[in-house]
């Protein structure tokens, strides 16, 4: 079973991900911040990370993705960014002129079918 790490500070979103993913054959682990997420990446070695942007700081998720990309051990783990930053006052802070170390992007709320489709596309075969 593929292991998915959900990094988001919203416990309702994490639970929604768990309720969508576990019945479809995924193991779900979670973290509530970028630092906690990096610790879980090291401990759990997930097959894919679902990552929010705004957590303990406005661009916490982007910092986590950058740090993963700098690690030879973790840079090949796919990252699916799932966020609602476009609907917040922080939308202008999201960088649009630089490379972002993610493999996919979805805006919240995410229909379960679309989430499962993207995971299928991103997970190593």
3-state secondary structure of 31: strand
Between 10-14, 60-64, 74-78, 98-102, the lowest mean confidence (pLDDT) is in 98-102
Q: What is the pLDDT of residue 90?
A: 52
Q: What is the CATH number of the domain that holds 102?
A: 3.40.50.2300
Within-domain flag for 86: yes
User: Looking at the DSSP assignment, which residues form a beta bridge with residue 48?
Assistant: 4
First to last CA, the chain: 12
For the residues 93-119, what does the mean pLDDT come to?
81
Name the residue among 116, 120, 121, 125 with its Cα closest to residue 17.
116
Q: What is the pLDDT of residue 59?
A: 73
Q: Are 33 and 60 a contacting pair, CB within 8 Å? A: yes
How far, in Å, CA of 114 to CA of 93, rounded? Answer: 26
pLDDT category of residue 94 using cuts at 50, 70 and 90: low
Within-domain flag for 125: no
Question: In terms of residue numbers, what domain contains 79?
Answer: 3-119
Query: Which is more confidently placed, 124 or 16?
Result: 16
How far, in Å, CA of 18 to CA of 21, rounded? Answer: 5
Q: How many domains does the chain have?
A: 1
Q: What is the pLDDT of residue 101?
A: 84
For the residues 9-33, what does the mean pLDDT come to?
97
Tokens of 74: 């973790």
Q: Summarize pLDDT for 43-86 with one digit per residue, the tens.
A: 999 999 999 987 777 678 889 999 999 999 999 999 999 987 55
Q: Summarize pLDDT for 22-55 with one digit per residue, the tens.
A: 999 999 999 999 999 999 999 999 999 999 987 7
Within-domain flag for 124: no
Within-domain flag for 52: yes
With a CB cutoff of 8 Å and minimum separation 6, the contacts of 15 are none
């Amino acid at each position: 079973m593929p292991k998915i790490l959900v990094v988001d500070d919203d416990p309702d979103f994490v639970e929604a991900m768990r309720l969508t993913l576990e019945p479809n054959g995924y193991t779900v682990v979670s973290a509530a911040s970028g630092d906690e997420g990096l610790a879980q990446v090291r401990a759990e070695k997930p097959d894919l990370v679902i990552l929010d942007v705004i957590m303990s700081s406005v661009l916490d998720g982007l910092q986590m993705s950058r740090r993963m990309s700098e690690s030879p051990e973790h840079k090949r783990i796919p990252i699916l960014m799932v966020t609602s930053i476009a609907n917040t006052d922080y939308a202008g802070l999201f960088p649009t002129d630089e490379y972002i170390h993610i493999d996919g992007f979805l805006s919240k709320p995410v229909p379960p079918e679309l989430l499962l489709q993207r995971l299928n596309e991103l997970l190593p075969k």
